[in-house]
Structure 1
Amino acid sequence: MRPRTRSRRESLTATIVAIVLAAGLASALAVAAGAEEGQPGDAPGEQTAERSEKEEALKAVRQDIEASRRAEQELAAEIEALRKDRAALNEQLIATAGRIQDIEGNIEAVEDRLAMLEEREDQLRQSFRGRSALLAELLGALQRMGRRPPPAVLVNPDDALKTVRTAILLGAVLPGLRIETEALASDLQEMARLKRQIETEKARFIAQNRDLDGERKRVAALIEAKQQSAQQSESELGEIREKARKLAEEAQNLEELIASIDREIELARSQAALTSRAPLTPRDALGALRNPSRLEPAIAFSDAKGLLPMPVNGAVVHGFGSPDDFGSAARGISVATRAQAQIIAPSDGWVVYAGPFRSYGQLLILNAGDGYHVLLAGMDKIAVSLGQFVLAGEPVGQMGGLVLASATNVTVGRSQPVLYIEFRKDGRSIDPAPWWAEGRTGVGG
């Protein structure tokens, strides 16, 4: 994401959302007005046409409601079937999270294109202001020849372009102004093209957001289904959460928290099995990671280099070891994300902590085995539970909206949500760069 377009895209997003909301409000008002009689003085034909138009609008609204109801029923039936098949449920979770990240990337690309198009449109508008005298002279010449340019000529580039072309064809342009007039016609043609492109991109933006909303509903239903089918009872989960809360209160820093949690949540047997495994070939490792029915890490974390997906789409604002906002060397990486961006697990692992912790805000810690831990901080919501085993690519949380106050050491003064990612080996921070897969989606690609 380019920094120079980020603020324009944020304001653009707000503007488009406002347009969508206004359109929805206008539709609702039109439907409500359908029950009212026409105003006194309206011709019978006009009243009939208006009533017919309102009836069509009401019919469209009812069809949308019915389609939405059918989609929800189909999703509920699908989720109920998946609940009985853990592997299929995991597979759908990972696939849905991948689609969400794809759509988020597409929306960001649309915003980039819109920002560039509107920037060029602004440049042309400023240029037209400096050539208002030329346009006024052309209008005057056409009027003297008996032509009446449309009133919208000063605001509609298509009408203005027709006017300029007409002036050129009729010879109303003085020879000394012909070059300037042709340049004006070229710019007006570009302006008309830009407006059409902008409308197309806005329509694409609205459609992508509609798709995103549908996929978010799906992933929420899948997460709920997985939680309901978990092996542990609510009483057992309550005991684990309470123990983790007490440990977090007692721990003075992350090192103490991780050490105490690992002592309480026994994973030694699985870690020993992982440590004793023979190294896998890249092909075998990738195949193991794609098995949705696994109940422990597919491969040793040290063998997963070049295979793990980034947890979120976004721009890295602090790299490992670079100075953070306080001048200290960053022990992880910080990624500026979209509002409400989907967060996925970068690796297989057991959830050993999920909740608030000191200045980190909402913190998720995964034990990836063999002394490796993955830390994710800065989320607004965490969608997994303590003791749960998660797969690489599985949705584990969601970012919040615009950041109004800092909760971590990397978000001060930033308007976008920022996800903090840290890898640790035997309690020491390590550079995560060697583990990331090429491209955005990693194992889910």
Structure 2
Amino acid sequence: MRFQVSQAKIGSGKGIGAHAGLLLLLFACVLPAKAQEQVDAKRAETVKQLDEIAGQISLSSERVASLDKEIADLKKDQTTITAALIQSAKTEKKLAEDIAGIGDKLTDLREREDGVKLSLRERRGALAEVLAALQRMGLNPPPAILVRPDDALASVRSAVLLGAVVPEMREQTEILIADLKELTRIKTSISDEQTRLTAALSGQAEEKKRLDLLLAEKQKLQSTSEETRKAEQQRSEDLAKKATSLRDLIASMEQDMEEARKAASAANQQEEQKLAASQERADNFASNQERLSAKVNFASLKGHLSMPGAGKLIRHYGDDDGLGGILQGDTLETPAGATITSPTDAVVLYAGAFRSYGQLLILDAGNGYHVVLAGMKRINVSQNQFVLAGEPVGVMNEQLVASTGTVQMGNGAPMLYIEFRKDTKPVNPAPWWADRLAGRTTNDT
């Protein structure tokens, strides 16, 4: 009896066998099931990693020495130092925004990574079946079908069955290979973003050091004597203790400045030594007011002011404050230790602690307008000092300050509370903020 030998065709069986090793490796790498973490948990993980990397970054002694020389070579005058401060603060703010963007991207990539892993875990059964079939086909290829004249029908049935099963196996294999490639691509992207993050954090650390050196240099150039500065600070603290509200504080500080002006007009009729301190206060105030009045009216700056720090607005004027009232300002969630800048040219009316506001800064923008900033760890300017838009005025905490009652919200990130006031009454800051594209301010006021 003659036998006819025919090899069953199994499509791209050769290609499927070639992927068996990759799929076997994938199967071995799939970890035990683990619940997918929520978005906020992923953000917390990213922030923790960012903090860990930032904590490990330190400037070399050579770089610090280079920065010292850079500052020493600057022309020692107020204009040069202030310009350098504004540029450095702008650079640090840009780096902070880049770091926040990288953090968001890392959070998204980790969510997608978890999604792919979850998909693979949910199809572990199908993966095991495909792998088993591929292994068997790879080690023991399907035998030739022996076709006997008296059993041709059974042979045809076997070939049809094999032809129906193989395409489904091929489809499953292609899906699993695609998941493996996506997982590899995501892991590569995460590694690239972590490299960018480290570089941005290193640059930010350097810029913060430059800011510190410039601020120290500017303090040396302040015209107000140390004795007068301390007297001003004490006077401000005394007025703050008596004030029962922010409105009262602004009114009392304005009244104090009015008294300084009156003291100046009477200075030429009294002993110069006795009124030296008052004369100095009045002269500084008059000079600052003259500079302020020469600038553009604050009301005309609507749509042009930059945010005082990197971050995002999470609460707005008019929102429910959670205490039965409404918010009288905006709340900006900032990165830890963010540099805060003045949104406009102004004279410092008050700088110091005040009730539940914590460290409070009040800027006199002229024509009855005031900008109030609260929630900072440190304020770098003093009363009666003139500041330009973009000039650094303080630094945020590493986390939310418990004493800052106005901003009790969020996930523990630092919060900067911002109020605009006209004739001591709160007004909505929204019309003043410049359009923000891609998370960054678009103006350089």
**TM-score bucket (shorter structure):** 0.7 to 0.9
Matched residues in 1 for 2:54 and 2:365: separation? 44
The whole-number CA distance in structure 2 between the counterparts of 1:132 and 1:89 is: 64
Q: Does structure 1 residue 8 correspond to structure 2 residue 5?
A: no
Match of 2:321 in 1: 324
Residues in 1 aligned to 2:97 and 2:349: alpha-carbon distance in whole angstroms: 30
Aligned equivalents of 2:199 and 2:339: distance in 1? 18
- The residue number in structure 2 matching 1:374 is 371
Q: Which residue of 2 aligns with 1:300?
A: 297
Q: Residue by residue, what CA displacement relative to the aligned partner does 1:159-204 show, whole Å, maximum 9, x if unpaired?
A: xxxxxxxxxxxx9x94432211111111111111111011101111
Counterpart residue type for residue 353 of structure 2 = P
Residue number in structure 2 paired with 1:108 = 100
Measure, in 2, the Cα distance between the counterparts of 1:20 and 1:336: 19
**3-state SS, counterpart of residue 313 of structure 1:** coil
> Where does residue 400 of structure 2 map in the other structure?
403
Q: Letter of the 2:171 partner, please give it.
A: I
- Helix, strand or coil: the match of 1:323? coil
The answer to whether the 8 A contact 1:83-1:229 is kept is no
| Aligned 1:45-444 pairs, distance under 5 A | 68-82=60-74, 84-137=76-129, 139-140=131-132, 174-266=166-258, 295-296=291-292, 298-403=295-400, 405-412=402-409, 414-439=411-436, 440-441=440-441, 443-444=443-444
Decide whether aligned partners of structure 1 residues 83 and 233 sit closer, same or farther in structure 2, where only a CA change above 3 A counts.
farther
CA separation of 1:327/1:414 partners in 2, compared to 1, >3 Å: closer, same or farther? farther
- 1:81 shift after superposition: 3.2
Residue 15 of structure 1, CA deviation:
3.0
Query: Secondary structure of the residue that 1:115 maps to in structure 2?
Result: helix
Aligned residues: 352
Residues 334, 410 of structure 1: 8 Å contact kept = yes
CA distance in 2, matches of 1:390, 1:212: 23
TM-score by length of 2: 0.73
Alignment of 1:22-37 (within 5 A): none
How far apart are 1:227 and its partner, in Å?
1.0
* TM-score normalized by the length of structure 1: 0.73
Aligned residue identity for 1:333: D
Counterparts of 1:321 and 1:17 in 2: how far apart (Å)?
Answer: 33
> C-alpha separation between the residues in 2 aligned to 1:427 and 1:259?
7
Residue 361 (structure 1) shift:
0.8
Contact 1:376 1:419 in 2 (8 A): yes
| Greater Cα offset, 174-183 or 241-250 | 174-183
Give how far 1:392 is off: 0.6
Deviation at 1:310, TM superposition (A): 1.3
For residues 125-162 of structure 1, give each alpha carbon's deviation from its aligned partner in whole angstroms, at most 9, with x where no partner exists: 11111233444445545665787xxxxxxxxxxxxxxx
Shift of 1:313: 2.4
Change (3 A) 1:79 1:295: farther
The alignment partner of 1:195 has SS state of helix
State the match for 2:144 in structure 1.
Answer: none
Unaligned runs of 5+ in 1: 25-63, 148-170, 270-293
Q: State the identity %.
A: 41
Letter in 2 for 1:411: Q
- Alpha-carbon distance between aligned partners in 2 of 1:224 and 1:200, rounded to the nearest angstrom: 37
SS of corresponding position for 2:417: strand
CA distance in 2, matches of 1:93, 1:247: 31
- Measured against aligned partners, the alpha-carbon deviations of 1:285-343 in whole angstroms (never above 9, x if no partner) come to xxxxxxxxx95362222222222211122222221122212131211111122221221
Kept in 2, the 8 Å contact 1:365–1:376? The answer is yes
Q: Does the 8 Å CA contact 2:39/2:111 hold for their aligned counterparts?
A: no
- The secondary structure found in structure 2 opposite 1:378 is strand
CA distance in structure 1 between the aligned counterparts of 2:237 and 2:75, rounded to whole angstroms: 30
Write the letter of the residue equivalent to 1:334. T
Q: How many Å separate the matches in 2 of 1:414 and 1:114?
A: 18
Distance 1:17 1:370, change over 3 A: closer
* Offset at residue 368 of structure 1 (A): 1.2
Instruction: Out of 412-421 and 324-333, give the one that drifted further.
Output: 412-421
